[in-house]
C-alpha cells in the first residue's frame, strides 16, 4: 500500500512540474505576443495612417495620438516588466543557492502578483488603444 502512495506522489509531483512548465511557457508566449501585437499596431498605424486617412483633414486627431500614447505605454510597461522579472529571477536563484533563504517563497509570490497586475494593465491599455484607433479610423473614412 505504501508503495502505491509513493508512486502516486511521484506521479503528482511530475504532473505538477509539467503544469509549471506549461504555465511558464504560456506566460512567456503571452508577454511576447502582447509586445508583438502592440508594436505591430503602433507601427502599422504610424506607417499607413496617411494612406488610409488624410490626417490634415482628420477629425478627432487627439484619438489617434491617444492610441499611439497607449501603445507606447504598453510597450514600455512590457519592457520594464521583462527587466524586473529578469532581475527578480536572478535574485531568487542567488537566494536559493547561496543564502538558503526561507522567505524566498513569500518574495516570489509578491513578484508574481506584481507581474500579473502589470500584465493586466498592459493588456487593457493595448485593447483601449486598438479600440480608440478603430474608432478614429471609422470616423475619418
pLDDT of residue 4: 54
Q: What is the pTM of this model?
A: 0.74
Under a CB-based contact definition with an 8 Å cutoff, are residues 82 and 34 in contact? Answer: no
Q: How far is it, in rounded angstroms, from Cα 140 to Cα 116?
A: 36
pLDDT tens by residue, 115-125: 888 889 999 99
- pLDDT confidence tier of residue 5, bands split at 50, 70 and 90: low
- Average pLDDT rounded to a whole number, residues 7-17: 63
Residue 103 in grid coordinates? 522567505
- Average pLDDT rounded to a whole number, residues 42-68: 88
Helices and strands per DSSP (H, E), number in the chain:
3, 0
Q: How far is it, in rounded angstroms, from Cα 133 to Cα 137?
A: 6
Q: How far is it, in rounded angstroms, from Cα 92 to Cα 87?
A: 9
- Average pLDDT rounded to a whole number, residues 17-31: 73
pLDDT tens by residue, 56-108: 888 999 999 999 999 999 999 988 988 887 777 767 666 666 666 556 556 66
Q: Return all residues near 133 (Cβ < 8 A) that are at least 6 apart.
A: 41, 45, 63, 64, 67
Question: What count of Cα atoms within 13 Å lies in the side-chain half-sphere of residue 138?
Answer: 6
pLDDT of residue 95: 67
Q: How far is it, in rounded angstroms, from Cα 53 to Cα 61?
A: 11
- Average pLDDT rounded to a whole number, residues 17-30: 73
pLDDT of residue 53: 83
Under a CB-based contact definition with an 8 Å cutoff, are residues 130 and 45 in contact? Answer: no
Amino acid at each position: 500500500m505504501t508503495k502505491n502512495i509513493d508512486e502516486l506522489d511521484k506521479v503528482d509531483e511530475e504532473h505538477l512540474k509539467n503544469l509549471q512548465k506549461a504555465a511558464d511557457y504560456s506566460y512567456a508566449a503571452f508577454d511576447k505576443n502582447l509586445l508583438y501585437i502592440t508594436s505591430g499596431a503602433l507601427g502599422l498605424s504610424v506607417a499607413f495612417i496617411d494612406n488610409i486617412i488624410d490626417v490634415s483633414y482628420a477629425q478627432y486627431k487627439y484619438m489617434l495620438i491617444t492610441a499611439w500614447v497607449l501603445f507606447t505605454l504598453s510597450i514600455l510597461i512590457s519592457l520594464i516588466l521583462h527587466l524586473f522579472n529578469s532581475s527578480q529571477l536572478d535574485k531568487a536563484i542567488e537566494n536559493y543557492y547561496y543564502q538558503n533563504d526561507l522567505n524566498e517563497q513569500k518574495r516570489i509570490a509578491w513578484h508574481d502578483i506584481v507581474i500579473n497586475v502589470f500584465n493586466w494593465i498592459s493588456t487593457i491599455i493595448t485593447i483601449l488603444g486598438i479600440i480608440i484607433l478603430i474608432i478614429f479610423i471609422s470616423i475619418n473614412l
